[in-house]
Amino acid sequence: MQNPFESIQSELKEIKVLVTQLLEPKDDLSQKMYTINEAAKIQRCSRQTIKNRINSGFIKASRKGKNGNYLIKHHELFNSLDEVKSLKYKRQA
């Protein structure tokens, strides 16, 4: 007969490994920049929708060069998702 504490101890070791993996620092996304194409793929919408959100001010973006592409910071892209959802469901007086 196998000692029941051995199986519990092995399962606890597995849990410990998983918890340490969860607690490890992830990549720093605060400086990550996205192009309009990448932002459209992330938000699952068209390029034109992203451009419209930039022009309307929902997403803040910077231009690279005089006629360059827009670059969108990581937090701007994901914060804009929350703002759009909250505006969508606001009650109109």
> What pLDDT shows up at residue 64?
80
User: pLDDT (tens digit, 9 = 90+) per residue, 2-49?
Assistant: 787 888 999 999 999 999 888 887 777 778 899 999 999 998 999 999
Tokens representing 40 are 């459209």
What is the average per-residue pLDDT within 64-78?
84
Q: How far apart are CA 12 and CA 59, in angstroms?
A: 45
* Residue 46 identity (one-letter amino acid): S
The values of phi and psi at residue 69, to 5°, are -80, 160
Using 50, 70 and 90 to split pLDDT, how confident is the model at 91? low
Q: How far apart are CA 74 and CA 57, in angstroms?
A: 16
> What pLDDT shows up at residue 15?
93
10 Å CB burial of residue 34 (0-12, 13-18, 19+) is buried
| Helix runs in 1-93, H state only | 4-23, 36-43, 47-56, 74-88
What is the average per-residue pLDDT within 79-90?
58
> What pLDDT shows up at residue 40?
92
> What pLDDT shows up at residue 77?
85
Pairwise pLDDT comparison (27 vs 71), residue with the higher score: 71
Q: Which letter does DSSP use for residue 66 in this model?
A: S
The full set of domains in the chain, from first to last, is: 33-88 (1.10.1660.10)
